[in-house]
Structure 1
């Protein structure tokens, strides 16, 4: 069961993020250029839709993806922080699969150290350049993880930098 109330709010299918501000959530959006060309687009899209942005950033995904993500699928992400392992239950809440826009959003489930949603979206421009947009809405969860939320906020920028580099050509 998801642990937040704005399911789908990161809107991965939409080029413009219409409703960024949600009560009590911290929002984030950043777009980076990754590479260019049809071959790069095809390869990077396939990698992204099989959790490559997370696995290439140091996370383990269970069950290990063998197909592209689909709305409703549930996963257990594991963040590796030195000797610590932090389990993060998530569910795919939205998928974008258009000729020039592909990506997905996952929502956090009970037991996740934060509450909210994160989206990873590739989009291809008319000049052939490929970009990655990261979007997230986060707030402190209920329960004991609430005490660790300040530490999670400190780690977010480092992981976002990893995500931005994970698919670079």
Structure 2
């Protein structure tokens, strides 16, 4: 019985490791509803640098990061950078209030199932905030990049 339990634990841990996106992986093809009630496809953002940011209204570090992302968006979007926030909030009204309070103007999507959300699983999100930077070809170039790293990529990919 101990061997069966150990085997089961190994299988589960390998599954979660394999689910984590790795540098060079392609942008997952995800469709999610936005705060504007339209459905958005992540692959529609190819051709530009894309930052996908997982967050929630109850996550204090996420809310602090939102302020920096708002400034980054105002400085670089839409010509050089697209930012897409994906909330794992289970309460839509709290999510919408946080968007308003944080003055978020970039695309906001919701996958309201917490860490069990399909998008969170596809990206391998296990803690918040979590962000993923993709190049214009849709390849992952950084996981949880700093503001400086994002700006370096923007300068590196000047057209």
TM-score band by shorter chain is under 0.3
Q: Which of the two has higher C-alpha Rg?
A: 2
TM score, norm. by length of structure 2: 0.27
Normalized per residue, the structure richer in strand is: 1
